[in-house]
């Protein structure tokens, strides 16, 4: 459906209302030299994104194909409210209103061009509660350092050696596969396969959130993370499983370092999923017998699925950072809760506008190449449908290659406008389609 200006303006109006400064206890008086931990805080954000694509070669289409000549918008408004009930603890709640659709209702590209677009879209604003969690930090010694106030983070102090426990409802990438330069679709790159590792099929509902818990052990320059999370009842659907009957285990090890005075980090992670999923080979065998395109739900049973990722970030000069991600999964089952990617390699750079005397600006350039297993190629050629892609056939498969370039203008404190462009070659791994040009505009307001 076309951009509805009235609905977009309504949501942005609510965003601006939320942006009115709200004091926390830490703001009521001038901070002493060694301030006490912040006891409560309220933050807010509003983001409006519009993307458009002109015409492109499209000789045939399927149920999950990206359509040419369209424009779509999304808008969201989030309140971040936190309190410290006892020493080291934080409770956060993030009520949110969303509205809008991704291009083709978030279908047609495995590395979808907007991580602000969910798999569930609605024309009118609707409410959801993406996060409600408790975080407990247990200091274990070492150097003490201040913690800055931010959304979902109270100001205070923590030691270099510590144990952090998080339990409740949140997103797996809140803790795992983070990256300073490419992890926030409201403030840097927009593409799904650049914001997170493309093959990281993390547990989530259709909006990207789940129930679970995670533990992080910090020891000098090292961090070890582990988490246990709930899957959706049905792949790619809003409802989460009850009683963790379908679950995922995630682990990660991180090393922080300095090279020539410039900070960096390396993260290696992996996940194990046990859920009701369809094996690709079973659906292919059915098609060979019947000639009828396979329907995933008919072949689902309890099965194991897994993969891993490498995540690197490095400042290489003042105001210049680079990042690299590589990921892969087993490629034998339908995608569960993220997207249809079996292997992915991403490389990018982010520049701070301080280098050209605009300290509140940022710019970036990135490239990601996504691929699928040979088994998944056959499945799509048989008319199978994935989480995001499926053109009805795949006679000439190829890797999906995406380039994203963006520039963010810092207009006022807390207000930024971003121009975004993405060039997509072989969308949905289909050499018969595209290339596709995606032009984007993002407005973000936050405190």
Burial-class residue 89 by CB neighbours within 10 Å (0-12, 13-18, 19+): middle
The larger pLDDT score, comparing residue 22 to residue 152, is at: 152
Tell me how far apart the terminal alpha carbons of the chain are, to the nearest angstrom. Answer: 31
27 band by pLDDT with thresholds 50, 70 and 90: very low
120 band by pLDDT with thresholds 50, 70 and 90: confident
- Tell me how crowded residue 243 is: count the other CB atoms within 10 A of its CB: 7
User: Tens digit of pLDDT for each residue in 299-324?
Assistant: 999 999 999 999 999 999 999 999 99
331 band by pLDDT with thresholds 50, 70 and 90: very high
Q: What is the mean pLDDT of residues 407-420?
A: 95
DSSP letter (8 states) at residue 315? E
Residue 328 clears pLDDT 50, i.e. is over it: yes
Q: What percent of the chain has pLDDT over 70?
A: 92
The strand pairing partners of 412, in sequence order, are 415
- Tell me how crowded residue 81 is: count the other CB atoms within 10 A of its CB: 17
Q: How far apart are CA 408 and CA 186, in angstroms?
A: 10
User: Tens digit of pLDDT for each residue in 256-289?
Assistant: 999 999 999 999 999 999 999 999 999 999 999 9
Q: How far apart are CA 329 and CA 200, in angstroms?
A: 8
Q: What is the mean pLDDT of residues 154-179?
A: 97
Structural domains of the chain, ranges and CATH numbers in brackets: 5-19+40-442 (2.40.160.180)
Q: How far apart are CA 146 and CA 35, in angstroms?
A: 10
Residue 14 clears pLDDT 90, i.e. is over it: no
Query: Mean pLDDT in the chain?
Result: 91
Q: How far apart are CA 202 and CA 222, in angstroms?
A: 23
- Residue 35 has a pLDDT of 58
- Residue 237 has a pLDDT of 87
User: Tens digit of pLDDT for each residue in 179-206?
Assistant: 999 999 999 999 999 999 999 999 999 9
Q: What is the mean pLDDT of residues 321-349?
A: 96
């Amino acid at each position: 459906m076309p951009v509805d200006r009235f609905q977009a303006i309504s949501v942005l109006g609510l965003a601006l209302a939320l942006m009115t400064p709200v004091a926390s206890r830490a703001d009521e008086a001038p901070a002493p030299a060694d301030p006490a931990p912040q006891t409560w805080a309220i933050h807010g954000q509003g983001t409006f994104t519009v993307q458009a694509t002109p015409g492109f070669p499209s000789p045939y289409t399927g149920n999950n194909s990206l359509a040419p000549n369209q424009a779509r918008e999304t808008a969201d408004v989030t309140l971040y409210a936190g309190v410290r009930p006892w020493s080291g603890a934080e409770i956060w709640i993030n009520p949110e209103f969303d509205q809008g659709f991704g291009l083709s209702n978030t279908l047609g590209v495995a590395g979808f061009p907007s991580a602000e677009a969910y798999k569930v879209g609605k024309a009118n604003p609707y409410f959801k509660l993406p996060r409600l969690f408790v975080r407990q930090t247990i200091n274990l010694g070492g150097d003490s350092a201040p913690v800055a106030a931010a959304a979902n983070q109270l100001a205070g102090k923590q030691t270099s050696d510590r144990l952090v426990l998080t339990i409740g409802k949140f997103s797996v990438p809140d803790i795992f596969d983070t990256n300073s330069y490419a992890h926030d679709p409201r403030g840097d790159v927009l593409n799904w396969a650049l914001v997170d590792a493309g093959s990281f099929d993390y547990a989530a509902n259709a909006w990207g959130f789940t129930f679970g818990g995670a533990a992080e052990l910090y020891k000098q320059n090292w961090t070890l993370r582990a988490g246990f999370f709930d899957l959706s009842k049905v792949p790619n659907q809003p409802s989460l499983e009850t009683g963790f009957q379908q679950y995922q285990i995630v682990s990660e090890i991180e090393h922080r370092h300095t090279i020539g005075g410039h900070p960096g980090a390396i993260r290696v992670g992996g996940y194990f999923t046990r859920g009701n999923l369809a094996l690709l080979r079973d659906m292919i065998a059915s098609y060979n017998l019947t000639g009828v395109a396979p329907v995933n739900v008919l072949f689902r049973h309890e099965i194991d699925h897994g993969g891993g990722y490498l995540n690197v970030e490095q400042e290489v000069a003042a105001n210049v950072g680079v990042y690299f991600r590589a990921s892969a999964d087993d490629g034998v089952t339908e995608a569960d809760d993220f997207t249809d990617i079996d292997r992915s390699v991403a490389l990018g750079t982010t520049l701070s506008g301080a280098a050209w005397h605009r300290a509140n600006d940022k710019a970036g350039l990135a490239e990601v190449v996504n691929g699928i297993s040979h088994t998944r190629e056959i499945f799509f050629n048989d008319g199978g449908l994935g989480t995001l892609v499926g053109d009805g056939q795949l006679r000439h498969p190829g890797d999906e290659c995406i380039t994203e370039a963006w520039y963010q203008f810092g207009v006022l404190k807390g207000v930024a406008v971003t121009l975004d462009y993405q060039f997509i070659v072989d969308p949905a791994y289909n050499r018969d389609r595209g290339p596709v040009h995606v032009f984007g505009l993002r407005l973000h307001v936050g405190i």
